[in-house]
Amino acid sequence: MNYKHCPSDEDWERGESICELLEPFYEITKLISGSSYPTANLYFMQVWKVECILEENQDQADDVIREMATDMKTKFDKYGKEYSVVLAFVVILDPRLKVPFLKYCYTTLDALTCNVKLKNVEDKFRVLYQEYVNIFNHQSVVLSQSSQDSNSLSKSSREGSKTKKCKIISGFKNFQNQPISDTGKSELDAYLEEKSIEVDEEHYEDFEVLLYWKINEKKYPVLSLMARDVLSIPITTVASESSFSIGGRVLTKYRSSTLPDHIQMLICTRNWLHGFSENLNDEDGYNASICEDESNAIIINS
């Protein structure tokens, strides 16, 4: 007779522990391998969560899970122990987090090395900021913005339809958008001293950090340029590479004479029009196909 094996309570507990251990890896894999290209500020927290959970499971009572966590920690130390400084930069440029969040993360992992790590990041962050100040001459940025404001004010005066109340509100907005350097502080110091933005947990993932810097580009003209560049750094090229993996089906033996530029345009156009699909219908992982109609015009089907 054949008896089916029923999992014991110990098996269920082990399964739950393994799921808990692997969940952060699942989340960060979705984040990195997806096609939405999220801003770089989302990665530090994910990598930190992975290291925290691996540290916690080093002393697991379950031998199987402890051995699994130990092997994973060895791999993590080899490739990700020293976080990229840029990953820490983007945390500082997230107005919800800034330096206090870095301090919390470093302290949670190792309180003894927290201050050293934090100082290293802050020093390098200020060096990078100073480079932006040197490259993008702050005075020219302010003058450019001032001329734009004066043009808009001239236009308003020509229209002659603004009430005194509107003028007061307009003046207040201009005051709010006044470059920080005019107050005697550097943009960086003013930004770091400013209270962090509070976002409830329900809408935390919906916060548009690039939009924040766009809205505050007059207030922080140089820092906003730095934030735009740093936050848009792609952490992975997985999505881009997978897009071009369909090239083997595009350039078949029947189209061996198709120009490389045309092949690239076909693949990029398909990606721009349809993006990436999670419904995988073929062996290569994509449901797009490229064919020619009777007039030899190449069309794209999804």
pLDDT digits (tens, 9 = 90+) for 215-272: 999 999 999 999 999 998 877 655 555 555 555 666 666 666 667 787 778 777 777 7
For residues 192 and 255, state if they share a domain.
Answer: no
Please indicate, yes or no, whether residues 26 and 42 belong to a single structural domain of this protein: yes
What is the number of domains present in the chain?
2
Burial of 97 (0-12, 13-18, 19+ CB in 10 A): buried
Q: Are residues 102 and 224 in the same domain?
A: yes
Flag whether 257 is in a domain: yes
Could you count the other beta carbons within 10 Å of the beta carbon of residue 284?
A: 13
* Inside any domain, residue 211: yes
Q: Which residue has the higher pLDDT, 7 or 44?
A: 44
Report strand pairing: 298-301 vs 289-292.
antiparallel
Q: Does one domain contain both 20 and 134?
A: yes
The answer to whether the beta carbons of residues 260 and 244 sit under 8 Å apart is: no
Q: Is residue 254 included in any domain, yes or no?
A: yes
Range of the domain at 267: 237-274
Does 152 reside within a domain? no
Among 39-53, 161-175, 197-211, the minimum mean pLDDT is found in 161-175
- Clarify whether residues 85 and 126 are in a common domain: yes
Considering the domain architecture, whether residues 255 and 205 belong to the same structural domain is answered as: no
Would residue 227 count as lying in a domain? yes
The answer to whether residue 297 is domain-embedded is no
pTM (two decimals): 0.63
- The answer on 241 and 229 residing in a single domain is no
pLDDT at position 202 over 50: yes
What is the maximum alpha-carbon separation in the chain?
A: 96
CA distance 223 to 159: 34
pLDDT of 39 above 50: yes
Shared-domain flag, residues 122 and 202: yes
Residues 6+ apart with CB under 8 A from 287: 277, 279, 280, 281, 302
Instruction: Compute the average pLDDT of residues 179-192.
Output: 79
